Amino acid sequence: MVDFVDSELWQQLQQRLSGGERFWEPGTSVHLNAQNHLLDSRQLQELGEALDRYDLKLTRIATSRRQTAVAAATAGFSIDQGSELPQLLTLSEDKTTGGKTLTAEPLYLQTTVRSGAEVRHPGSVIIMGDLNPGSSVVADGDILIWGRLRGVAHAGAAGNKGSIILALKLEPTQLRIADSLARVPQTAQGPTRPEVAYVTAKGDIRITEAAGFTRPYR
């Protein structure tokens, strides 16, 4: 695949953006639907810089490719990895409903999710880094953050109450698991211990130390 900014499609888009009256406000957000195309961080950054020249801001990448999703998150963009991923989907049992549900393989990100960025994935999300204030992660499975969780985390977004949220330090703006919602009060600084949030049988979100934790149900 040739560099996007050198492609014929990009040349046509440039002509459209350069000609006639502008049909957008300065700073308008651009969402790129990359579909199954493989793009790396450099290509995405080049595209973002090119759009900046037209007062357009590339903010979100929708993709069905795991490599592109990782590259976009690393470059600081919001990502939406679509649920139509037949090559990645596996059939797993959901004991909370007694039925079967489609879940994607986990998405691994070795980066800090910056403020303003959002990550969406139809499976579990594992982040080796922090989730900064103003950022969010929405996952149909679990959310595991090997760092500080200070943004918004929504696990089990498709309705699985057996999903969990785990982090080295839980300081979230908001926690959601399935349709349960919790706001965590700010606590005094102390030793960092891994913590896990889960839904109780009563439907409440409870937070406990991860050491010795056993998932109550799946």
Vertex 199, ends 214 and 98: CA angle to 5°?
85
- Confidence at residue 121, expressed as pLDDT on a 0 to 100 scale: 93
Tell whether the model's pLDDT for residue 122 goes beyond 80: yes
- Top-confidence residue, 85 or 35: 35
Tell me the per-residue pLDDT of 152-211, one tens digit each, with 9 for 90 and over. Answer: 999 999 999 999 999 999 999 999 999 999 877 665 555 678 999 999 988 999 999 988
Would you tell me which CATH number, out of the four given (3.30.390.50, 2.160.20.70, 1.20.1580.10, 2.60.34.10), belongs to the domain 90-218? Answer: 2.160.20.70
3-state secondary structure string, 7-55?
Answer: CHHHHHHHHHHHCCCCCCCCCEEEEEEEECCCCCHHHHHHHHHHHHCCC
Whole-model pTM?
0.76
CA 69-72-76 angle, 5° bins: 135
Domain ranges (residues) in the chain? 1-81, 90-218
pLDDT tens digits along 43-102: 899 889 888 988 999 999 999 888 999 999 999 999 998 644 333 334 344 444 444 444
What is residue 2's three-state secondary structure?
coil
